[in-house]
Structure 1
């Protein structure tokens, strides 16, 4: 069921989707920020939580299987090949061929698996509900899916070769570790070698007094396989308040002692030194946050592991990451002689072996926002463009929506017709759907003829006409069909003659004639 056990510690992982935070308006960002703060506030104090952002390289073979149009051995295969070449160009030329997955890993100490299951049933339901309030879809990972996350990290480039059947392995007496672990793992002072990949674990050493909410998304924007984890240990509010009251009492005592020393030297007008005043102010603010502003005290540590193909590339990537952190006045440092512990901490296992904890309030922790922009990649969907933020393809399937209708809006020259034509081509090449185009300006004719469609001209001079008297089986949906047809013909004649030019006598004639025309075709007949 996806619960991992390490000694007396149990952990469970929830995968959740991204939300459109980076492109939201200021009001929407504030709402999302407060919703995320509520999620952090709701974390159980008896457990620890790990938020992980996993950058996975887009597996080309897997992508081709899901997105590209298969050959169907008809006259449109040439168009399909051109369409597929365009899609592959978009993937390879784009600045980002990485897909991001996000996990919340909950871990707790319990005496037995039954107690752990009861705990996770309660807590995962609460976390899932709060994520849904943020419009983030979430799902609990089972054992095989959690092992797949580890496999895809340890064996980058071999994602399609993951085949783990736990029952089959138990029956044969094999260990699942053989198909997940890397071929070799060698830890050096400040990096590690994993198979033919080089990796390094960094941690956030210095925090700025003011951090922008874009820092985490900028750190994970690097086009490399990496995992960034934020470990959160909530402190019970009563303990936190008691601790801050003791701190404040200590600061006030220091201030009183300083003033007493000044008074004994007959210096009665001395101003309290800046550092003591600052300590007093910050401690009071922290106490106010905890008691009046519904903030929680939390311990947090941020770790990041990234992989590269060579040592030179690894050093270059590390410099880029440290530069991105410095831009926010923070310092990312390499873990020396702790690469193994750092790797275990960064992976979504639910373990923490790094003690570089920082005390933060809920708001200060919520600034480390894990959300960026939602990716749309539906199975069997059509190409709609590229995500503005991540540069990944937008592949959407409107048939999976509650309402699949759509319309195209835009100013003149913005590409409305092109968008409609592109969607028609996508559907014609990938599905057997019927496409009906009503085209007064004959704008779509070359496209339809090119795709082998049928063009029907309807005009006063064309050989094709619409028969106003046509009536099929079931016409009228249960109502009297002759009455409905009579009303239609009356309105048609009024359109031809002009409004209010038909007299009551002429309307009566049309009504009677309509009944007489269909009299012999309808069983039993209708009285006009």
Structure 2
């Protein structure tokens, strides 16, 4: 026992000595720190203090320092930081909102796969820019210069038409969509190799979605930034000028001044601007949210900064959250036991968060889902503060309809503007975690636009229908002549008068009708224009051709019975149905039921019951009777058919064939060879 006490006493003495030594060391360290502090203070005396910005960092002394990149190369590679490089791709719109549900689902899945392509080492920025073009640019695009030929009158009419349509349109609003992808690399050589490989993959992904895309050069990237910061100025720049001017690329794109003195707005030259971020409160979002924002016909930039989270880390993070929530549930259960109430009574938020976390874990583990953190920014610039506030109010109303909120970046306007530029740099820490499908809801595609670029032509609204109905008018006139030759004068004059009415009505609606009026009536009139000539020709055939003569003619030219018999039954069926319809109308009139359209409006159920139901039954009965009669007359007999009527080609037949061949050849020439 004494030996144990001696050992404990010895150990205690040793610990006391160690503690005393540690105190002495700490004392000597504090003395040396005080000496160093005094020395630093004496050195810094007389030096001006560094002024820091509100959120830290050196205060910027020039507009060039505000633009956050180091250099821009000819090939489009931008060095943002020492080891961070990026490239930029512009992609065009496709028809998404007008597609069928199956096509929409296919495009949505392709866009989701496109987002899943980017791993955590790649940062992407999606920029959607609405810019109202200058009046000079619009006039330049629609101006068709005169030439030394006989078509100047047509060019004048063409210019006037384009000018009128541009005034009815969206004031030259152009929509641009870009993706900027950034990665870390040791040097430019490594960055170039990796960026080019990613560039090919991104272009292939866009191609699978049917989206046209191309890579921007250094000049084009600088022009995009210049047009954002200098809306009313033309971009004049060449990389060759850098060799002799001693300037950098920033000097060509920056505005005259930046003013960030206001806490909720900024000013660039004569323009007032404001940056807001989108706070998502809704549990589910519609794929029309982004299209509604981009449908606002004002100058605007919508920016998405998207960063992928490693799948393993995301799953671990969610599991930790679930563990924390379970721990909180246990604490609530203990509190319930101590207080003497039911342990199943838990706070509603705790239950909701727990269920959501478990659902999210299932999606990440069992579905093709990944986790992303995104920042959504809206940047607007206008010359008037009042107009700017009206636009922000309009955007807020759109966000409110989808249970979201647009909030101002107070005291962060400079960082917000920098993050809105398509340079792949995000200085806003406000982020929202979303899965792949939730991120893909912000699909940027709406409808493909028709642009006045290259050799493209523009003929105004619903341009294709006017040449079409003129061609059909000529076709109806030929059918009327054919009807007169066959002594069917009533069909000829009635048919041409009705079609002239449809023709002039179509022209009036196209040229003078409102958009709503056109969208209601033009589909119906277009269908009438396509079907009417065929119906008119069918009336002539039915009134001039007997079934026996038709079958004899078909046998004479060697047409198979599999074709001639159904056509013969059809020729006999239509007149039979017409006779039955007249009988039913007379019968219903005796019973006091009007078969007219007005009678249908007054009493639709009785009209359907007493007129259309018997019509359907008699139509089926007529089909059976015609079939039986045809079989009785030996229509299926394998022997060669004989006829007392001799069928031969006459002058009119040859003339009709020649006219048909000429019309077909002329149509093919207009379609494929006429320039």
- What is the TM-score when the length of structure 1 is the normalising length? 0.72
Shift of 1:495: 6.0
Q: Matched residue of 2:272: which SS?
A: strand
Q: Matched residue of 1:249: which SS?
A: helix
1:185-196 alignment runs, 5 A limit: 185-187=258-260, 188-196=262-270
In the alignment, what sits opposite 1:444? none
Is 1:175 aligned with 2:330? no
1:366-515 alignment runs, 5 A limit: 366-377=440-451, 378-385=453-460, 413=502, 496=651
Shift of 1:245: 1.1
Q: 1:408–1:177: structure 2 CA closer, same or farther, 3 Å change rule?
A: farther
Q: Which structure has greater strand proportion?
A: 1
Q: Matched residue of 1:136: which SS?
A: coil
Is 1:358 aligned with 2:358? no
What is the count of residue pairs matched by the alignment?
A: 410
Task: Name the CA distance, whole Å, in 2 between partners of 1:495 and 1:114.
Answer: 82
Is 1:216 aligned with 2:290? yes
Q: 1:141–1:498: structure 2 CA closer, same or farther, 3 Å change rule?
A: closer
In the alignment, what sits opposite 2:493? none
CA offsets per residue over residues 280-335 of structure 1, 9 Å max, x none? 21010010110001110110010011111211111111111111111211101111
Instruction: Decide whether the 8 Å contact of 1:199 with 1:307 is kept in 2.
Output: yes
In the alignment, what sits opposite 2:201? 126
In the alignment, what sits opposite 2:537? none
Q: 1:414–1:363: structure 2 CA closer, same or farther, 3 Å change rule?
A: farther
1:12 is aligned, of 79, 82, 87, to 87
Q: Matched residue of 1:39: which SS?
A: helix
Q: Which structure has greater helix proportion?
A: 2
In the alignment, what sits opposite 2:301? 227
Task: Name the CA distance, whole Å, in 2 between partners of 1:157 and 1:91.
Answer: 20
Moved >6 Å (runs of 4+):
407-410, 414-419
- Runs of 5+ consecutive residues of structure 1 not aligned to the other structure: 388-393, 396-406, 423-492, 500-528
Q: RCO (CA 8 Å, sep 6+): is it higher in 1 or 2? A: 1
Q: 1:416–1:5: structure 2 CA closer, same or farther, 3 Å change rule?
A: farther
Instruction: Decide whether the 8 Å contact of 2:142 with 2:163 is kept in 1.
Output: no
Is 1:54 aligned with 2:209? no
In the alignment, what sits opposite 1:328? 402
In the alignment, what sits opposite 1:252? 326
Task: Name the CA distance, whole Å, in 2 between partners of 1:238 and 1:96.
Answer: 50
Task: Name the CA distance, whole Å, in 2 between partners of 1:203 and 1:271.
Answer: 38
In the alignment, what sits opposite 1:292? 366
Q: 1:118–1:256: structure 2 CA closer, same or farther, 3 Å change rule?
A: same
Q: 1:50–1:415: structure 2 CA closer, same or farther, 3 Å change rule?
A: farther
In the alignment, what sits opposite 2:212? 137
Task: Name the CA distance, whole Å, in 1 between partners of 2:653 and 2:293.
Answer: 70
Instruction: Decide whether the 8 Å contact of 2:162 with 2:460 is kept in 1.
Output: no
2:380 is aligned, of 283, 306, 320, to 306
Task: Name the CA distance, whole Å, in 1 between partners of 2:352 and 2:286.
Answer: 23
In the alignment, what sits opposite 1:28? 103
Task: Name the CA distance, whole Å, in 2 between partners of 1:414 and 1:54.
Answer: 42
Instruction: Decide whether the 8 Å contact of 1:224 with 1:307 is kept in 2.
Output: no
Q: Which moved more, 1:190-199 or 1:137-146?
A: 190-199
In the alignment, what sits opposite 1:99? 174
Instruction: Decide whether the 8 Å contact of 1:216 with 1:368 is kept in 2.
Output: yes
Q: Matched residue of 1:383: which SS?
A: coil
Q: Matched residue of 2:424: which SS?
A: coil
In the alignment, what sits opposite 1:199? 273
Instruction: Decide whether the 8 Å contact of 2:255 with 2:268 is kept in 1.
Output: yes
Task: Name the CA distance, whole Å, in 1 between partners of 2:189 and 2:650.
Answer: 77
Shift of 1:104: 0.5
Q: Matched residue of 2:458: which SS?
A: strand
Q: Matched residue of 1:44: which SS?
A: coil
Give the superposed CA RMSD. Answer: 3.0
